[in-house]
Each structure stands twice: as structure tokens, then as C-alpha cells.
Amino acid sequence: MPSKQKQIQLVSRPVGMPKDDDFLYKEIEVPQPSKGEILVKTLYLSVDPYMRGRMSDAKSYVEPFALNEPLAGGVVGEVAQSQSEHFKKGDFIVGMLPWQEYSIASEKEIRSISPDPSLLSAHLSVLGLTGLTAYFGLLDIGQPKEGETVVVSGAAGAVGSIVGQIAKIKGARVVGIAGSEEKVHYLKDTLGFDEAINYKETNDMQAALKEACPNGIDVYFENVGGEIGDAAISLLNKHGRVPVCGAISSYNKTEMDLGPRVQSKLIKTSSLMKGFVVNDYNDRFKEGATQLGQWLSEGKLQYEETITEGIDNVTDAFLGLFEGKNLGKQLVKVAEPTK
């Protein structure tokens, strides 16, 4: 067991796109667990777009990260030491923990996961909050019906790729929006989307969507916002539904993000537009995880992970999210499980 470890702190609040100087890699002591606590060895860290919002001090649905303290997110780890009756050394766990190599966790902060080495990282993607976000956002708000058209922005990302596949399971026609030809081919050839649009090669997003969706749009799953969202909302059918999961196009803007007003469009089509966060569904997580696990075991769901190696590269992996460098879920592999 090492005596020292690396920790990543937020030392200044970013203006626009975060910079390297906003973060500090600091060497700290490896702590020791007290009664009821566990020392967790970090194996995988999750980096997610929503974390950009927590780096500012604006009021939001979750507390901002504190300055000169470690950032935190989803972690898959291994119990290195235990003072808990519920966990033993060598158990694998998942929880929301700091960006560092070893963390102290209470019994209530973490839960056990399968020791299957092929599925460890999946508990931060398809079997974790990512999959649950797709599951509840699409099925509870979007409610796709057989034969309807579902459009997903950020479709090759962690949430969007699962959304599109669930929509296909429900019998919908699915159109994805992504940012490269590689991602377009992945959506169509690997995940079975009916159509896909490379927004970076499209001068008129509304025209491209209209061509891809000749019968209009029944469900638009919003991950991106901006002009893509404007175009999709303009093509909603009567009683369309818009689950609003994210708006990554605006996260690093320093000025107000202005666009067409949507009220008249929603009125004319009697459409529903509803924002949500996955924690709205805390009491139904078991339901969602069980169904996602079943679809995965049946081969109905596929998932992709972009895994960056090493804790020294966590901030690079995070910043890459805003340049669309990831395919599927972006993770950082910090360490190997103990042999």
C-alpha cells in the first residue's frame, strides 16, 4: 500500500472552456479508514459533461465543486482496506468519490458490484447512471411507440447511444445526430439506427432533419441544444415529446445562449418538453438496472467506451468531451485490480 497518492483539485472557476490552470494535481497522504469505513482503490473514473456546470458557482440542481478541494464523480473501485462489516478486502464497488487514487468511503456511499472483470467499467456506463439516464428519460418522458420517429442528438455519446437502442427495442424509427462520419457509420452499422446525420458536414440542419424524418419527429431526445435543438423542435409532430437531458453546446459559452422561442411551436403541436436529471428516479433505479442488464445479456444493447489511461490524463479526457473526441462513455482507467 503506497503512503502517497495523487488528487485532482479545482483551483479556479473556469471562464469559457476550462484550462489546465483551473486544475491542480496534488500529492497527498493515503488515508486510513475508521470504523464503518472503507479505503477504496480507484480503478475507473467517470468524466461527464454535467461536471462543467459544477465548476461554476451558479445555482443549479447540484452543489458546485468547492475550490481547492478534489473534484468528484462516478468511480468503480476495489476495497483495499475495510473497517466495515458489509465489505471485505477485494470487493468491487461503485460510488460517487473524489478524483484521487485512494478514497475513504462510508458504507452508505457505495454499493457492491459484480466481480466480473469484463463488466467492471460497464457499471459507469450502460449499467450505471448513464444507462439509467437513457432508460428513464426516453421511456418515462419520451414514451416512444412502435412506428414513431425518435431523433437523438449527441447520439454517439454515452447516453445518446443507449437511448437510440432502447428506442429501436420499442419499435421506433431512430435518427441519430453526431459529429463525424466515423460516428455516423457506428450508429447505422453497429447500433442499428435507421439514419444518422453528421452535423459538422451539414449547412442546413433543419433541411437535413426533414429529409431524414419525412414523417416528422415524435420524440426528440435533447443532449446538445443550440441550433440542432432548434431544428428538431421545429419538426415536432402533434403531441411530440422532448426529454431534455443536456445542452452541451452551451456549457462553455460566456454569453447568454439565445435562439428561436419555442413556446408557439409547443402550443401548435401540443408537445411536451421536460427537463430531468437521473436522480429524479432514485426510487426506481433497481427497475432500470434490472431491465438494462437483461437487454445487455440478451444482446439487445451494445455499448462503447473510450478509455483513457492514467490519472495524469483525467483533465485531458474531461476536456475532450467538449470536442467530441469520445465514442460512447468516456472513462479514465486509473489502476488495475489487485491480482
Determine the average pLDDT of the residues in 285-305.
Answer: 96
Tens digit of pLDDT for each residue in 74-120? 999 999 999 999 999 999 999 999 999 999 999 889 999 999 999 99
Percent of residues, the chain, with pLDDT higher than 90: 91
Determine the average pLDDT of the residues in 115-136.
Answer: 95
Tens digit of pLDDT for each residue in 219-264? 999 999 999 999 999 999 999 999 999 988 877 877 777 778 899 9
Tens digit of pLDDT for each residue in 141-156? 999 999 999 999 999 9
Let me know: does 101 contact 310? Beta carbons within 8 Å. Answer: no
Determine the average pLDDT of the residues in 64-74.
Answer: 96
Whether pTM > 0.75 for this model: the answer is yes
Let me know: does 152 contact 159? Beta carbons within 8 Å. Answer: no
